[in-house]
Structure 1
Amino acid sequence: MSFWSTERLLQKHRLDKLIDPFDPQCVKQGAYELSFGSEAFISTELKGTKQTLVTGEQIVIPPGQFGLLLTEEVVHVPNHAIGFISIRFSIKLRGLVNVSGFHVDPGFNGRLKFAVYNAGSQNIILTCGDRVFIIWFSDLSGPTRDVYDGDHAGQTVITSEDVMQLQGEVASPAELKRKIDELKREFEQRFTSLDDKITIWRTVTITLLSGLFVAVIVGMIFLALRIYAERPAAPSNQPAQSTRSQEPTQDLKQREPAANQKTENSANTPNNTSAIKPEPTK
């Protein structure tokens, strides 16, 4: 098995009409450069349907998303050959990867559908009519009667079945990272907001407690002053009167013995006088 050269590819095309429409300028280094056609479907399409394009119109394949692209040309692979397909290197370099397989069976006839995946970190923009794909041809050991006659034989459009298989946004690594970053920013914003609220409530609470403490202290001071002001004052001459009231009592107690003594003396005086008898005169 050997791959066809540019000259052999041109020769075989004249015999078997390999590609339609055919442009000799698209034959380079033994391969034919196929163009991006008029239909495409992207997994993030809001309408959930394929896009129909005109030459020069563009599509966008976001990072981490799939696309189904149709070629402009109809490809015919003879029963003695097999085709190999890929994406041009300049487009691969952006991150676009072919995930639909790498060969075209002997006997296939129709437009090729490329299932692609954007493995890059940026949007990939493709323009209808641009040379995006490549096909090589190689000989088999001989003609085969086991040619392709499956569901894709003679295909020219992207079907509803094709669209249904690719519907829905894909949670790609890039998309997951973007969502995680968004959640992180949202969490940080909420945490900052919560921290600010806690600070505000702490300040308000401290202020209220401080005001309440001051009010309690001031109230206690006023209550003490009020109690002191309402207490009856003691008379200033009370100690003197009590002293004076005690002095007569003491004097009376001291004078009673003296009076009793005088009474006794006065009582004893006549008796003593009568007891003394004058002596007779001699």
Structure 2
Amino acid sequence: MSFLGEKELKEQIKLIIPQYRPKFIDSNKYELCLGASYCASDSKFRVLQAEDNQIVVNPGEFYFLETYETVEMPNDVMGFISIKASIKFKGLVNVSGFHVDPHFRGKIVFSVLNAGPSPINLTIEEPLFQIWFAKLTSASESYNGKHQNQTGVNGKLLNDHMSGSDNASLGDLQKQIKDLDNKYEKVLVLASVLVVGILSLVFKAHLS
């Protein structure tokens, strides 16, 4: 297996990414852009559409994001995917797979988590993801996985991956912890008032 260099990438990219734009070829990799559909743990995992060409990934929340482009992998080429370093440094972490199977066709969907302290603003059709291509020593059998012909973030994707899920995001857990802290503080205040009241009654009884 060997990776496609810049020359080979420029020669083959149109066959792999029909919607490719030359400006997004960067050395031996292609920069994939962000699509408009997404879902988020803080929106109860409903399929949403970007507003004003922006998606805001809140701290501690889990999101499904899609590529703007559709890829059509040859049966003798494998893809390796990542998020651009400039976005990763803000805290956006890819928690899904890191490769694209030979013969896969469709949009790539990333599962991401904002592990940073601040919201991360993402712009539709701007480069967010990266893909490198590796030539295999022999062709693979046709890919027939459930993601074949994937059209991005949609109801089918959520049914496949989130059906019956009741997992709390980090943001949910932080809120629950904060709520417990507030309740604990209220209990301490009430307990202190009761103790002071009881001691006051005892002291008055002792004086009398």
Contact 1:61-1:67 at 8 Å conserved across structures: no
Deviation (angstroms), 1:79: 2.0
Return the TM-score normalized by structure 2. Answer: 0.84
In structure 1, list runs of 5 or more residues that go unmatched. 214-282
Q: 1:133 to 1:121 in 2, by over 3 A?
A: same
Within the alignment, does 1:113 sit opposite 2:109 as a pair? yes
Q: 1:153 to 1:177 in 2, by over 3 A?
A: closer
Which position in structure 2 is the counterpart of 1:11? 11
Deviation (angstroms), 1:185: 4.2
Question: Aligned ranges for residues 156-195 of structure 1 at < 5 Å?
Answer: 156-164=151-159, 165-166=161-162, 167-172=165-170, 176=173, 179-195=176-192
Q: 1:42 to 1:96 in 2, by over 3 A?
A: same
Contact 1:108-1:153 at 8 Å conserved across structures: yes
Which position in structure 2 is the counterpart of 1:257? none
DSSP-derived class of the 2:4 partner? coil
Q: 1:55 to 1:109 in 2, by over 3 A?
A: farther
User: Aligned pair count?
Assistant: 205
Deviation (angstroms), 1:12: 1.1
Which position in structure 2 is the counterpart of 1:89? 85
Q: 1:20 to 1:61 in 2, by over 3 A?
A: farther
Which position in structure 2 is the counterpart of 1:50? 47
Q: Distance in 1 between matches of 2:166 and 2:57?
A: 16
Which position in structure 2 is the counterpart of 1:135? 131
In structure 2, list runs of 5 or more residues that go unmatched. none
Q: Distance in 2 between matches of 1:103 and 1:176?
A: 30
1:29 alignment partner, one of 27, 30, 39:
27
Q: Distance in 2 between matches of 1:128 and 1:61?
A: 17
Q: Distance in 1 between matches of 2:52 and 2:193?
A: 56
DSSP-derived class of the 1:70 partner? strand
Deviation (angstroms), 1:89: 0.9
Question: Aligned ranges for residues 248-263 of structure 1 at < 5 Å?
Answer: none
Q: Distance in 2 between matches of 1:190 and 1:19?
A: 60
Q: Deviations over 1:195-253 (max 9, x none)?
A: 1232134324533564xx3xxxxxxxxxxxxxxxxxxxxxxxxxxxxxxxxxxxxxxxx
Which position in structure 2 is the counterpart of 1:148? 143
Residue identity (%) = 31
DSSP-derived class of the 1:20 partner? coil
Residue type at the aligned position of 1:198: V
Question: Aligned ranges for residues 200-215 of structure 1 at < 5 Å?
Answer: 200-207=197-204, 210=207, 213=208
Greater relative contact order structure (CA < 8 Å, 6+ sep): 2
Q: 1:170 to 1:29 in 2, by over 3 A?
A: farther
Contact 2:37-2:153 at 8 Å conserved across structures: yes
Contact 2:108-2:152 at 8 Å conserved across structures: no
DSSP-derived class of the 2:42 partner? coil
DSSP-derived class of the 2:57 partner? strand
Structure number, greater radius of gyration: 1
Residue type at the aligned position of 2:12: K
Contact 1:94-1:124 at 8 Å conserved across structures: yes
Higher helix share: 1
Within the alignment, does 1:40 sit opposite 2:35 as a pair? no
RMSD: 2.5
